[in-house]
Amino acid sequence: MQLYNKLSAKERAVLIDESGEDRITVSFYQYAHIANPSLFRDHLFVQWDALEILGRTYIAKEGINAQISVPAPNFEQFREELYQISFLDGVRLNVAVEQDNKSFLKLKIKVRSKIVADGLNDDTFDVTDKGIHLNAREFNELIEDENTILVDMRNHYESEIGHFKGAITPDVDTFRDSLDKIEEDLKDYKKEKNLVMYCTGGIRCEKASAYYKHKGFEKVYQLNGGIIEYARQINEQGLENKFIGKNFVFDHRRAEAISDDVIAHCHQCGEPADTHVNCANEACHLLFIQCSSCQERMKTCCSDECREIYELPFEEQKELRRGKQESNKIFKKGRSEKLKFKK
């Protein structure tokens, strides 16, 4: 029984090109009580590998969080098989606004302690006791209410390139940081204000809504399906779009345009820009915003130092990295002091 990838990302990319088939990028999540996440993981891998599904999925005792790419001809079979799983029957599938056949190049299904890293050691709140879900029309109406506080539950690098008009956008690096900060900032409004939250696809808001209800907030709402589903509904129903800029996504595309507005700036020259890149120096890999001019001039590097390393022969670059333990914790996603115009 195959429970791992046999092909590299490069080999998979070639097969995708040769197949001539379109792929559908889709995401979904569900909070549930999964008794044996490892067994469920193996079941999904066998099922999805047979359908040539690629992507990143996390499974924990608290549920499942999936961002995947499905061959278009296999999509209906995928949905049918997914809905045969009792706690996923009818789960909402968020189809990407902008499609890219190479949004994912490997199938990774991992067992985690939680499907959303929250850093909480508080097991006294029920994650399934969530706030009230709002569709796009209801959301547009409620955020116009003067008694409403609208909060972006994403991190600073996500909201920097796009957010809803009038939203509070916490300057945080992690979801865990935002939970405490928002509670402290809004502690005087737990009973009187509508707390309306949104995120990319809804999963962070769902946990946050349960957490804030547990903390005493009485009027808790969330945008159902997040920005992804909101974009679909406003396009289908001809509703006013209250989101400005791009929606950051966690695949090779990095973002989907929800409006034509460019609200961010190049972190190197300060000109209007909203394209995230990773520093081409693999020892750095910093995520930051770079305009096309700086990308050409700096060869997609975040600094002259990184560019000098990147221009070295590949074997020399490997030697410089040898023995060094890199971690996402050092990347800081746009926080580097090397960037003159960072947020």
| Residues 177-216 pLDDT 10s | 899 899 999 999 999 999 999 999 999 999 999 999 999 9
Tell me which CATH code domain 9-111 carries: 3.30.70.100
Q: Where in the chain are the domains?
A: 9-111, 132-232, 264-343
User: Within its chain, how far is the Cα of 147 from the centroid?
Assistant: 29
Smallest CA-to-CA distance from 162 within 239, 66, 230 is with 230
Instruction: Note the pLDDT of residue 100.
Output: 84
For residues 325-340, average pLDDT:
64
Active site positions, annotated: 199
Alpha helix (H) residue ranges in 241-300: 292-298
3-class secondary structure, 50? helix
Tell me which CATH code domain 132-232 carries: 3.40.250.10
Smallest CA-to-CA distance from 62 within 3, 132, 134, 129 is with 129
* pLDDT tens-digit readout, 256-300: 999 999 999 999 999 999 999 999 998 888 999 999 999 999 999
Instruction: Note the pLDDT of residue 329.
Output: 43
Residues 6+ apart with CB under 8 A from 242: 140, 143, 164, 165
Q: How confident is the model at residue 11 (pLDDT cuts 50, 70, 90)?
A: confident
pLDDT tops 60 at residue 1: no
Percent of the chain's residues with pLDDT above 90: 71
Instruction: Note the pLDDT of residue 323.
Output: 67
pLDDT tops 70 at residue 244: yes
